[in-house]
Amino acid sequence: MGVMASRMIASQLEEHLGEHVMSLSWTVAHMPVVQESLAREGADPELRKLLDAIRKKVGVAFIVPVRGERRDFPLRERASVGRVLGNGEAYLARGAGPLGPSLRALTPVIWQGRQVGAVSVGMLVEDVRTALQELSRKLGVALMVGLSLALGGAVLVAWNVKRSLWGLEPEEIGRLHGERESMLESIKEGILAVDRQGRITLLNNSARELVRVSGDIRGEPVELFLPDTRLPEVLRTGEPEFDMEMLLRGIRVMTNRIPIRLRGRVIGAVASFRDMTEIQALAEEVTGVKVYLEALRVQHHEFRNKLQTISGLVQLGETHRVLDFIDRVVDGQDTLASMVTERIKNPEVGGILLGKMGRARELGISFVLDSRSFCGRDPGVSSQTLVVILGNLLDNAMEAVRFLAPERRSLRVSLYDEPEIIRIEVEDSGTGISPEVRHKIFDRGFSTKPGENPRGYGLYTVRTLVDAQGGEIRLESSERGKTLFIVELSKKEESL
């Protein structure tokens, strides 16, 4: 750019100087005093003084009046002067003179209609070169200043860009992008991210399958595809949400929602979704094992207590009472076990009822199973769902009565397998639930249990499962009376 600018400036400067000396030559040639002087014979010292003053004022090398015709000039000057004296033309040319190479303009002088001479105005080539060098020097300084500013700006921009990219080079960014894409597509969970305005910026194939979209929906508002999402709420509060259940296009999923922060500011949020089908299958296995273990633990504890009672009676010599005790235990156990076996065909549900019955006996709580209760082997509702709902409702009921007087400790359970719904009723004889607490008991983390670390997830889990099943849960309670939870779960269509 500097070389090109220098050449352009040199060309324009030479052209400008040529126009300057040509204009000055024309002006001097049309001065009356010059015309009259050249029309007279002989030298005119006053004219030379005037022209010398003009020369100094305008800064040219020479202003020379020429009197006579072309043949009056030396041979070396006739070629350039001849066009002026012979043809009456103004002329600009480079040439050699007494002072050295110059750029000069010659203009004819006309007096009373005839040419009486010419005026030659010139600048030395050396002066032109000096002016060009001065301009080049100033241009060079300007270019160096501009280059320094440009380099400084480039370094600042590069530093700022690199800082925003965490010091990564372009090839590292490309590699990380490829790794990220491969990692996202290898994850079975659906991953969806949004920006600060709630527009979708990223989603993997698993998320596309769950949301049921095939095209590119990046840049679209997330509410268009997930009306029930809480990502805007996470963006607003900046608080993460973990292990939340929700219905996504009719599919129960487990979701986590986490805000994305950059230098302390929330710039987006990311959500992960996992189909509950696999989780539910695993949970059913784990829950079944836990139920059986709890039932075995209770039975083992009861068995030891009964053996100790029999041992004590034998040592006391009360053999007839030993037989009576054994008969009562066998009859009671047979009656309870046979009732559960006959009426409750689902093994997991039967197991949880037997386990909770044993736990109630340990706590001295009267546990009554409605004789009309019935549950088929395949009730149309997930066994794990039934086990979790029953387990949490029974735990809350036992917690409500365990510290009452022994004669007041009782609870009743009913389980009805109807054609379209499963109906569960759990009633306790506790002290009831106050109205100001009643509307909060299903909230996550809320608990009325004493202690520094109450859990408060039991009834929240029950409500979540009921909502996911499309069911209904009701509470009937008074401040000084019984509390009844009624749960109705809709069966799956394929089981109807």
Per residue in 307-334, pLDDT tens? 777 777 777 777 777 767 666 665 555 4
Going by C-alpha positions, the residue among 355, 226, 374 that lies closest to residue 296 is: 355
Lowest mean pLDDT among 133-137, 364-368, 375-379, 410-414: 133-137
31, 102: one domain = yes
Q: Considering the domain boundaries, does residue 34 fall inside one? A: yes
Lowest mean pLDDT among 144-158, 289-303, 307-321, 425-439: 289-303
Residue 485 is predicted with a pLDDT of 92
Arithmetic mean of pLDDT over the chain: 78
Residue 154 is predicted with a pLDDT of 93
* Residue 106: CATH number of its domain: 3.30.450.20
Is the Cα dihedral 29, 33, 39, 44 positive or negative? negative
Q: Considering the domain boundaries, does residue 413 fall inside one? A: yes
Lowest mean pLDDT among 45-49, 154-158, 338-342: 338-342
Using an 8 Å Cβ cutoff, are 429 and 436 in contact? no
Q: Considering the domain boundaries, does residue 203 fall inside one? A: yes
Residue 155 is predicted with a pLDDT of 93
Residue 427 is predicted with a pLDDT of 92
Using an 8 Å Cβ cutoff, are 322 and 314 in contact? yes
198, 287: one domain = no
387, 294: one domain = yes
Lowest mean pLDDT among 3-17, 356-370, 387-401, 413-427: 3-17
What confidence tier does 287 reach under pLDDT thresholds 50, 70, 90? low
Using an 8 Å Cβ cutoff, are 139 and 6 in contact? yes
Given phi > 0 = left and psi -120 to 50 = alpha, else beta, which region is 186? alpha
Which whole number is the average pLDDT over 371-396?
86
Higher pLDDT, 16 or 97: 16
Please count the CA atoms within 13 angstroms of the CA of 345 that sit on its side-chain side: 9
Which whole number is the average pLDDT over 188-201?
87
Number of domains in the chain: 3
3-class DSSP state for residue 417?
A: strand
* Residue 307: CATH number of its domain: 3.30.565.10
251, 284: one domain = no
What confidence tier does 439 reach under pLDDT thresholds 50, 70, 90? confident
**Edge-to-edge strands of the sheet including 62-67?**
62-67, 114-124, 100-111, 91-97
Give all strands (DSSP E) within 282-408, no chain letters.
366-369
181, 35: one domain = no
Q: Considering the domain boundaries, does residue 164 fall inside one? A: no
Q: Which two tokens stand for residue 290?
A: 């836990």
Residue 269 is predicted with a pLDDT of 92
List the domain range (segments joined by +) for residue 245.
171-275
353, 385: one domain = yes
What's the CA gap between 314 and 321, in Å, rounded?
9
Task: Classify residue 105 as exposed, middle or buried by CB count within 10 Å of its CB (0-12, 13-18, 19+).
Answer: buried
Q: Considering the domain boundaries, does residue 158 fall inside one? A: no
262, 368: one domain = no
Residue-wise pLDDT tens digits, 69-111: 433 334 344 445 555 555 567 777 776 666 667 778 888 888 8
Examine the fold and report which residue of 231, 257, 275 is the final residue of a domain before the chain moves on: 275
What confidence tier does 335 reach under pLDDT thresholds 50, 70, 90? low
Using an 8 Å Cβ cutoff, are 198 and 161 in contact? no
What's the CA gap between 300 and 294, in Å, rounded?
10
Q: Considering the domain boundaries, does residue 153 fall inside one? A: no
Going by C-alpha positions, the residue among 375, 382, 359, 377 that lies closest to residue 424 is: 375
Tell the residue number behind the tokens 């040199």, with chain if given. 10
24, 68: one domain = yes
Element holding 343 (H helix, E strand): helix 319-343
Using an 8 Å Cβ cutoff, are 288 and 348 in contact? yes
Share of the chain above pLDDT 70, in %: 80
Which whole number is the average pLDDT over 241-255?
76
Most confident of 72-81, 252-261, 280-289: 252-261
Residue 250 is predicted with a pLDDT of 64
291, 218: one domain = no
What's the CA gap between 383 and 387, in Å, rounded?
6
220, 283: one domain = no
3-class DSSP state for residue 441?
A: coil
Q: Considering the domain boundaries, does residue 149 fall inside one? A: no
Q: What residues contact 288, with CB distance under 8 A and at least 6 apart?
A: 347, 348, 351, 383, 387
Res 495 pLDDT > 50: no
Q: Considering the domain boundaries, does residue 449 fall inside one? A: yes
Q: Which two tokens stand for residue 186?
A: 């290898």
Instruction: Return contacts of 45-54, CB within 8 angstroms, 24+ apart.
Output: 54/24, 54/28
Going by C-alpha positions, the residue among 198, 199, 220, 212 that lies closest to residue 249 is: 212
3-class DSSP state for residue 209?
A: helix
Lowest mean pLDDT among 158-167, 334-343, 472-481: 334-343
Given phi > 0 = left and psi -120 to 50 = alpha, else beta, which region is 318? beta
Residue 1 is predicted with a pLDDT of 78
Residue 80 is predicted with a pLDDT of 52
What's the CA gap between 170 and 156, in Å, rounded?
18
Lowest mean pLDDT among 202-206, 264-268, 334-338: 334-338
Integer angstrom CA distances of residue 32 from 27, 55, 111, 174, 232: 10, 18, 9, 82, 91
Which whole number is the average pLDDT over 117-136?
78
292, 418: one domain = yes
Examine the fold and report which residue of 113, 132, 151 is the final residue of a domain before the chain moves on: 132
Examine the fold and report which residue of 73, 105, 132 is the final residue of a domain before the chain moves on: 132
Residue 74 is predicted with a pLDDT of 40
232, 289: one domain = no
Our CA angle for 299, 302, 304, nearest 5°, is 110
Alpha helices (runs of H) in 31-111, residue ranges in sequence order: 32-39, 45-58, 75-87
Our separate counts of H helices and E strands in the chain read 14, 14
What is this structure's pTM? 0.44
Alpha helices (runs of H) in 198-318, residue ranges in sequence order: 205-211, 231-237, 276-315
